Structure 1
Amino acid sequence: MTDLGFSQLCNWLRFRHLVLVDTLARTQNMHATALEMNISQPAVSKMLREVEKQLGFALFQRLPRSMSPTDLGAHVARYARIALNDSRHFVGQINHLRQGGHGLLKIGSIYAATSVALPAAIVGVKQRWPLLTLDVLEGTSADLLNMLEHKQLDLVIARFTSDRHRQLFEFQPLAPEPLCLVTGSQHPLAGAHELPLGELGSWPWIVPPTGTPMRMRLERAFAEAGMQTPENTVETLSLRTILQLLQTAPMVAMLAESMVGPDVQAGRLARLALPFPLVLADYGIITRRDESPGWSAQALIEELLSGADAQRAQQSLR
């Protein structure tokens, strides 16, 4: 079996081949792929055989009820998806520029950053580039990093959740994320000068999904206090749902201080007195390694770093 050369690949590979591989990897069904691509099933089968012949290996296992990717096929499908997402972004940028805009910047951010750091940076960028379209998506670090890897986002403001991310991405720290325990203002624990740790686990809790950095920090805090993690829980990342539940039910939640500050000041929530600090590792700007950010991404990065420097300088004066 001879190795595949880059020039050889460029001579025969077409975007339609990438669409085929991506679609079949998602549907794992020849008929569904034909419907989605609007071609006949024999045409799908013929195109797949051509691609596999050129690559020199099978991309999919022919099973009775499905066509699951082989190990090499999964690798090809991953890069097909990345290439197609990159091309969609290119087309969107070109169309936007032709219509008089300054392009499109797709940003992923965890919830803590969208409450402070990101809005200020967006204001700064829009003052310089008013026709630049900014598309902001909130989510968990793990989900956002997966989208960044597949070129569905240009940059992410989040934190690493696995060692694998350190190999794929560059990281520029912005700020730590102090956490606090909060309840509704009518909760029996609200206003208590000392927090009865032994009782905390008996209350209903609102918690982040399993595997998120905030959930892991919460579980570690209970373990360090020699307590059992609460079993009566609601799992959600929806800030609106969390705030509504806290104000209408006797529940407890651990949230970033920046997310609940206004509600605490307005008296809608109460911050509980804690005998130990709750801080997550720094969140920061994450970009794909060995790939220079575009001019719009770089403009936002500069604003974010400038804002972080100003925040640190302000804190040092207190």
Structure 2
Amino acid sequence: MPSDITHSSFCNWIRFKHLVLIDTLARTRNMHATATRMNLSQPALSKMLRDLEEQFGFALFERLPRSMPPTELGEYVVRYAQGALADSQQFVDQVNRLRKGGHGSIRVGGIFAATAVVLPQAIAAIKARSPLLSIEVVEHSSDHLLAMMEQNKLDLMIGRFTEERFSQQFDFQALEPEPFSLVVNREHPLNQLECTPLEALGDWPWVLYPLGTPIRERLEQAFRVAGIATPADSIDTISMPMFLQLLQSGPMIAMLPRSMVAAQLASGQFRELQTPLHLAPLEYGIITRKDEPPTGSARDFVEILLDFARQRRAGEGGASD
């Protein structure tokens, strides 16, 4: 049985060129393509890979006739290499900005509902304090953003956990519950009904979030509680422009966060169906790495987000008095 790798020995022999090799070969799965991209000869690359595997004590990549996919243990090493390279890229970018008089950067991920209202407000507030702060915003579903968090490609995100395992890796600070609406275009025949019966919901095509996303699970839960089947005639997408285009183009139904369609509902472009279907709000919040609290501008950004959430809750409480 091979002896354990010690941290000190690992630090002594691992090099960034090794990480680049691992990352590039995992992407190309081809030695010739990897050697070309790294500007090395194929024999030199083969030797470097053999030496690396000897240090680890196991094969990182399979040797198949037409491909070199990572082994099971190799997949774990690939994830480390990609995360370390992403960190180093961020470091280099930050140093260059600081040398030019910049004031740091934040990489933020947000689900679509958050990018509609919450993120723009917080960005405007922190840019008023730090005009030269560079902010990169990635808009996507929670599962995609969580994968980016695992690879250190984001400093923080606003979304939800999609699997229980993420609660072991990341901290979650709730911002607010997100109410949902069933929406149709203004010409939809169901608009003629004061209240749409449950059985009528299955008679029309739907635009749905993909299976496995929290919003889709909430909709399916609502249908189960109501005792009716999830619509079979549906199109799955996470693209907000696609949601809007499909709703405008025909008699379709969509379940969407109310904040995302507030403007269309206010203008009369869309209508909200009144139904007995109970759509419970779904809470979203700030997700950061466990045991690695945000620092500098990222910490300030989190505080702004939490402060705005407290203000909104206070305003809603005052409005209900």
Cα deviation, residue 277, structure 1: 3.2
- In 2: Cα distance, 1:144 partner to 1:117 partner: 17
Where do 1:37-56 residues align within 5 Å?
A: 37-56=38-57
CA contact (8 A) 1:170 1:289 kept: yes
Where do 1:203-218 residues align within 5 Å?
A: 203-218=204-219
Cα deviation, residue 316, structure 1: 1.0
CA contact (8 A) 2:109 2:145 kept: yes
Where do 1:1-318 residues align within 5 Å?
A: 1-317=2-318, 318=320
- In 1: Cα distance, 2:246 partner to 2:232 partner: 17
CA contact (8 A) 2:198 2:277 kept: no
- In 1: Cα distance, 2:196 partner to 2:92 partner: 56
SS of 1:47 mapped into structure 2: helix
Cα deviation, residue 189, structure 1: 1.0
Instruction: State the percentage of identical aligned residues.
Output: 53
CA contact (8 A) 2:158 2:285 kept: yes
SS of 1:174 mapped into structure 2: strand
Deviates more, 1:126-135 or 1:275-284: 275-284
SS of 1:189 mapped into structure 2: helix
Q: Give a deviation string over 1:4-60, Cα, whole Å, max 9, x none.
A: 222222222110000111111222221221122221111110100111122222212
Letter in 2 for 1:242: F
User: Can you give the 5+ residue segments of structure 1 that lack an aligned partner in the other structure?
Assistant: none
Q: 1:280 to 1:30 in 2, by over 3 A?
A: farther
Letter in 2 for 1:73: G
SS of 2:191 mapped into structure 1: coil
Q: How many residues align?
A: 318
Q: Give a deviation string over 1:89-114, Cα, whole Å, max 9, x none.
A: 11111111222211221100001111
Letter in 1 for 2:300: A
CA contact (8 A) 1:176 1:279 kept: no
Deviates more, 1:181-190 or 1:235-244: 235-244
Cα deviation, residue 235, structure 1: 1.5
CA contact (8 A) 2:111 2:140 kept: yes
- In 2: Cα distance, 1:311 partner to 1:119 partner: 15
Letter in 1 for 2:46: S
Letter in 2 for 1:44: L
Letter in 2 for 1:249: G
CA RMSD, aligned part only? Answer: 1.3
Q: Give a deviation string over 1:274-300, Cα, whole Å, max 9, x none.
A: 324313431000011121212111111
CA contact (8 A) 1:191 1:270 kept: no
TM-score normalised by L of structure 2: 0.95
TM-score normalised by L of structure 1: 0.96
Deviates more, 1:25-34 or 1:105-114: 25-34
- In 2: Cα distance, 1:70 partner to 1:242 partner: 39
Cα deviation, residue 191, structure 1: 4.9
